């Protein structure tokens, strides 16, 4: 039963990841990314991390990708117009390189099966409490630093995206 | 019972797809999305290994990767908005001069 | 009976009640309530007291012509109403709607998904509601729709923060994300509405903003933006949006009842694990949700609408600091052992 779930969601993940990478319209790419992240959350649940899966949907799909969509809509980005003859070599080289890399890495990771114990999922393993205990004792400093990092990011983003001077400034610069 | 190595191979494939996207696209936002795809494949790897080794540290790392990805997305998109205001394009093939 | 079959049965029951009973009833309540407040009669011709008005409206929607604007982005346009139902159909799975019942010798929790990350799942699925607005507004290829959808999305994500912080303050003394534990806590202490008054206020205001109801309904304001993000939608697609909105209202009221008003419990009542008590508990929860829905209708026709900048200012400069201070005070009280 869980193999069927894994198979369906693995196929969905890969299919929509290819759409993200290949579709010329950035809005469709972002919506496909939403599907990919949701399928990844399902994979997290299958791997015994339901809390991480919930956080993934809450933060990544629910906030970060909304930000992406906002920016695309704000800038009114259109579909990419790339003539089919341009960059063919680049695409083939990228495809070959990435396939080699995936094949090599996949082979390495495949050998991980059977070499370590895979115990059935216990309540202690999947609990939020275990995660919290480690997070707030061993990893307290990185936790606080991440908080500071987010504050810096908010201030920096607000500063970078603001308009210098009254709106219409860039039009004046162009005329000059 | 699904062998965890299947998840790891899936993560490797996702990483490769993300790399192809980051290398071949011209639209800045799509490149950004491909990088986020790579980050998420790493998340899957972390959780997979956390399951394999029975160590909850992997999931703590995912937590941090998530937060850092959020910060990076915010700043990156703010940068794109600032660039768009000056160049009126996000096509990276046209924003390839530092200063003219 | 295996857990999956039980969960499916519970889910189907709740969905049937939500979409089949609550939504049509709510339409009637809204129109009669609106009429009473505005000193007129309201629908009273179709069926006794106008109760079949919702049925008549539904039939009308089905027979209307289904139009897709020529310049609309078809995929996004059609995706909007579908996505509007996603939070409505997935968020309620963590709310316990009755006290536990004994089935085949084992105690069965009356929650569809008795998971450990209860409220977080609710918040996660609720945050997906933004996509409905964004895809609808973008896909319609219409000035009013785009403006309405951007405003609605900004409003939703701003007030989501205050909502989550208020919820977090409730969870601190309880020590668990599960809503059943929150109800247990409230049965042994007072209702949280009294214990955490500022948090209750924040949740109330954020709830109105999350459901796009007056005084926060600028995104769909009839007098300002035609119909906001729903401008280009007619017949069943429009009906889907509003079904989603009413279902969302009911579910958020359910969450408020569970977090702040004690859920299915009444002070001084300990239910046995039998079906009668489960039905009584469900009835208590339903009564609390009904009360909350009447408050929704009452507020809608008593207040003027917030302007967009006032709305944003309220969310970020007043509600968020208040929620943060509430969280701080509650955590201090928990550390000092008062809670």
Locate C65 and state its tokens. 């012509």
Q: What's the rounded mean pLDDT across residues A84-109? A: 81
A abuts C (3+ Cβ pairs < 8 Å): yes
pLDDT of amino acid A84: 63
**Which residue did the predictor score with more confidence, C74 or B47?**
B47
pLDDT at C123 over 90: yes
Cβ–Cβ < 8 Å for C144, C224: no
Task: For residues C14 and C226, give the distance between their C-alpha atoms in angstroms, rounded to a whole number.
Answer: 34
In tens, the pLDDT along C14-66 reads 888 888 888 888 888 888 888 888 888 888 777 787 778 888 888 888 888 87
Task: For residues A90 and B20, give the distance between their C-alpha atoms in angstroms, rounded to a whole number.
Answer: 10
pLDDT of amino acid C288: 92
Q: What's the rounded mean pLDDT across residues C116-128? A: 89
pLDDT at A14 over 50: yes
| Ranges A45-54, C179-188, C229-238: which has the least confidence | C229-238
Q: What's the rounded mean pLDDT across residues C95-100? A: 86
What share of chain B in percent tops pLDDT 90?
Answer: 47
**Which residue did the predictor score with more confidence, C115 or A171?**
C115
Mean pLDDT of chain A: 82
Phi-psi region of C142 (alpha: psi -120 to 50; beta: other; left: phi over 0): beta
What share of chain C in percent tops pLDDT 90?
Answer: 20
Q: C261 CB contacts (<8 Å, ≥6 apart)?
A: C191, C192, C193, C288
Taking an 8 Å cut-off on Cβ atoms, the answer to whether B9 and A113 are in contact is: no
Task: For residues C325 and C332, give the distance between their C-alpha atoms in angstroms, rounded to a whole number.
Answer: 11
Task: Point out the residue among A2, A75, A106 whose CB comes nearest to the CB of B90.
Answer: A75
Residue A129 to chain B, least CA–CA distance (Å): 11
Task: For residues C206 and C96, give the distance between their C-alpha atoms in angstroms, rounded to a whole number.
Answer: 22
ipTM, 2 decimals?
0.89
Locate C10 and state its tokens. 């519970």
pLDDT at A167 over 70: no
Identify the band that residue A114 occupies on the pLDDT scale cut at 50, 70 and 90.
Answer: low
Identify the band that residue C212 occupies on the pLDDT scale cut at 50, 70 and 90.
Answer: confident
Cβ–Cβ < 8 Å for C202, C166: yes
Identify the band that residue C224 occupies on the pLDDT scale cut at 50, 70 and 90.
Answer: low
Tell me how far CA of residue C154 lies from CA of A55, C318, C330, in angstroms.
21, 16, 28
**Which residue did the predictor score with more confidence, C229 or C80?**
C80
Residue B53 to chain A, least CA–CA distance (Å): 7
pLDDT at A79 over 80: no
pLDDT at B37 over 50: yes
Taking an 8 Å cut-off on Cβ atoms, the answer to whether A66 and C130 are in contact is: yes
Locate A156 and state its tokens. 């920096």
Taking an 8 Å cut-off on Cβ atoms, the answer to whether C150 and A73 are in contact is: yes
Q: What's the rounded mean pLDDT across residues B50-68? A: 88
**Which residue did the predictor score with more confidence, C2 or C156?**
C156
pLDDT of amino acid C166: 93
Residue C107 DSSP SS3: strand
Cβ–Cβ < 8 Å for B11, B48: yes
Task: Point out the residue among B40, B60, B64 whose CB comes nearest to the CB of A37.
Answer: B40
In tens, the pLDDT along C184-201 reads 888 888 777 777 889 999
Q: What's the rounded mean pLDDT across residues C162-173? A: 92
Taking an 8 Å cut-off on Cβ atoms, the answer to whether B77 and A150 are in contact is: no
Task: For residues C209 and C47, give the distance between their C-alpha atoms in angstroms, rounded to a whole number.
Answer: 34
pLDDT of amino acid A166: 62
Using alpha carbons only, what angle is made at residue C17 by residues C15 and C20, rounded to the nearest 5 degrees? 90
**Which residue did the predictor score with more confidence, C59 or A84?**
C59
Instruction: Tell me, yes or no, if B7 comes closer than 8 A to chain A by beta carbon.
Output: yes
pLDDT at C298 over 60: yes
Task: For residues C15 and C251, give the distance between their C-alpha atoms in angstroms, rounded to a whole number.
Answer: 11
Beta bridge partners of C103: C106
Q: B99 CB contacts (<8 Å, ≥6 apart)?
A: none
Q: What's the rounded mean pLDDT across residues C140-166? A: 86
Cβ–Cβ < 8 Å for B23, A127: no
Locate B38 and state its tokens. 């790579």
What share of chain C in percent tops pLDDT 70?
Answer: 96
Q: What's the rounded mean pLDDT across residues C309-327? A: 92
In tens, the pLDDT along B78-93 reads 998 888 888 887 777 7
| Most confident of the following: A86-90, C90-94, C187-191, C314-318 | C314-318
Task: For residues A1 and A13, give the distance between their C-alpha atoms in angstroms, rounded to a whole number.
Answer: 18
pLDDT of amino acid C3: 75
Task: For residues C257 and C282, give the distance between their C-alpha atoms in angstroms, rounded to a whole number.
Answer: 12
Instruction: Tell me, yes or no, if A58 comes closer than 8 A to chain C by beta carbon.
Output: yes
Taking an 8 Å cut-off on Cβ atoms, the answer to whether A14 and B37 are in contact is: no
* Nearest by Cα to B3 from A115, C144, C67: A115
Instruction: Tell me, yes or no, if B95 comes closer than 8 A to chain A by beta carbon.
Output: no
Neighbours of B16 (CB within 10 A): 24
| Ranges A85-89, A144-148, B32-36, C194-198: which has the least confidence | A85-89
Q: What's the rounded mean pLDDT across residues A79-101? A: 78
What share of chain A in percent tops pLDDT 90?
Answer: 36
pLDDT of amino acid B84: 87
> Is the previous residue joined to C270 through a cis bond, with omega within 30 degrees of 0?
no
Taking an 8 Å cut-off on Cβ atoms, the answer to whether A58 and C134 are in contact is: no
Taking an 8 Å cut-off on Cβ atoms, the answer to whether B25 and A142 are in contact is: no
B abuts A (3+ Cβ pairs < 8 Å): yes
Q: C152: which chain A residues are within 8 Å (Cβ-Cβ)?
A: none
Q: B74: which chain A residues are within 8 Å (Cβ-Cβ)?
A: 67, 153-154, 156-157
| Most confident of the following: A24-38, C80-94, C110-124 | A24-38
Residue B79 DSSP SS3: helix
Taking an 8 Å cut-off on Cβ atoms, the answer to whether C131 and A66 are in contact is: yes
Instruction: Tell me, yes or no, if A46 comes closer than 8 A to chain B by beta carbon.
Output: yes
| Ranges A30-44, B47-61, C218-232: which has the least confidence | C218-232
Strands C106-108 and C101-103 turn out to be antiparallel
């Amino acid at each position: 039963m869980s193999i069927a779930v894994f198979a369906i969601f693995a196929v969905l993940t890969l299919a929509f990841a290819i759409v993200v990478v290949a579709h010329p319209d950035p809005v469709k790419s972002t919506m496909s990314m939403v599907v990919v992240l949701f399928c990844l959350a399902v994979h997290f649940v299958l791997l015994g991390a339901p809390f991480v899966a919930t956080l993934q949907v809450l933060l990544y799909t629910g906030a970060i990708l909304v930000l992406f969509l906002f920016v695309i809509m704000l800038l009114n980005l259109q579909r990419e117009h790339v003539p089919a003859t341009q960059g063919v070599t680049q695409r083939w080289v990228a495809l070959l390189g990435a396939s080699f890399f995936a094949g090599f890495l996949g082979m390495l990771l495949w050998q991980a099966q059977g070499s370590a114990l895979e115990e059935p999922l216990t309540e202690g393993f999947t609990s939020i409490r275990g995660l919290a205990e480690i997070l707030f004792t061993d990893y307290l400093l990185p936790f606080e630093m991440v908080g500071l990092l987010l504050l810096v990011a908010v201030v920096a983003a607000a500063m970078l995206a603001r308009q210098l001077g009254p709106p219409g400034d860039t039009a004046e610069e162009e005329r000059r | 019972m699904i062998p965890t190595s299947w998840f790891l191979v899936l993560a490797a494939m996702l990483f490769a797809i993300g790399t192809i996207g980051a290398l071949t696209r011209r639209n800045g936002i799509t490149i950004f999305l491909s990088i986020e795809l790579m980050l998420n494949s790493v998340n899957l790897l972390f959780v997979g290994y956390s399951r394999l080794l029975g160590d909850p540290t992997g999931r703590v790392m995912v937590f941090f990767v998530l937060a850092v990805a959020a910060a990076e997305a915010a700043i990156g998109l703010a940068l794109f908005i600032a660039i768009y205001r000056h160049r009126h394009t996000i096509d990276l093939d046209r924003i390839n001069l530092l200063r003219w | 009976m295996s857990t999956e079959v039980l969960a499916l049965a519970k889910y189907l029951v709740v969905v049937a009640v939500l979409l089949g009973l609550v939504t049509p009833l709510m339409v009637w309540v809204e129109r009669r309530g609106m009429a009473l407040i505005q000193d007129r009669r309201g629908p009273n011709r179709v069926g006794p007291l106008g109760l079949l008005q919702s049925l008549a409206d539904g039939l009308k929607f089905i027979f209307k012509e289904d139009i897709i604007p020529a310049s609309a982005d078809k995929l996004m346009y059609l995706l909007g109403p579908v996505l509007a139902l996603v939070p409505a159909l997935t968020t309620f799975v963590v709310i316990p709607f009755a006290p536990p019942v004994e089935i085949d010798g084992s105690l069965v929790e009356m929650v569809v998904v008795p998971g450990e990350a209860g409220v977080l799942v609710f918040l996660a699925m609720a945050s997906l509601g933004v996509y409905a607005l964004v895809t609808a507004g973008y896909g319609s290829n219409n000035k009013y729709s785009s403006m309405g959808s951007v405003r609605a999305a900004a409003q939703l994500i701003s007030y989501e923060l205050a909502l989550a912080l208020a919820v977090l303050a409730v969870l601190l003394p309880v020590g668990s994300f599960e809503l059943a534990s929150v109800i247990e806590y409230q049965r042994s202490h007072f209702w949280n509405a009294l214990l955490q008054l500022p948090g209750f206020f924040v949740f109330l205001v954020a709830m109105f903003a999350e459901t796009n109801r007056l005084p926060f309904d600028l995104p769909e304001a009839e007098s300002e933006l035609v119909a906001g993000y729903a401008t280009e939608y007619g017949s069943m697609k429009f009906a889907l949006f509003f079904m989603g909105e009413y279902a969302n209202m009911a579910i958020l009221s359910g969450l408020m009842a569970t977090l702040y008003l004690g859920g299915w419990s009444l002070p001084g009542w300990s239910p046995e694990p039998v079906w009668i008590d489960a039905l009584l508990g469900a009835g208590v929860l339903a009564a609390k949700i009904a009360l909350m829905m009447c408050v929704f209708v009452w507020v809608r026709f008593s207040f003027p609408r917030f302007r967009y900048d006032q709305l944003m200012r309220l969310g970020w400069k007043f509600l968020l600091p208040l929620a943060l201070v509430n969280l701080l005070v509650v955590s201090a009280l928990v550390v000092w052992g008062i809670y």
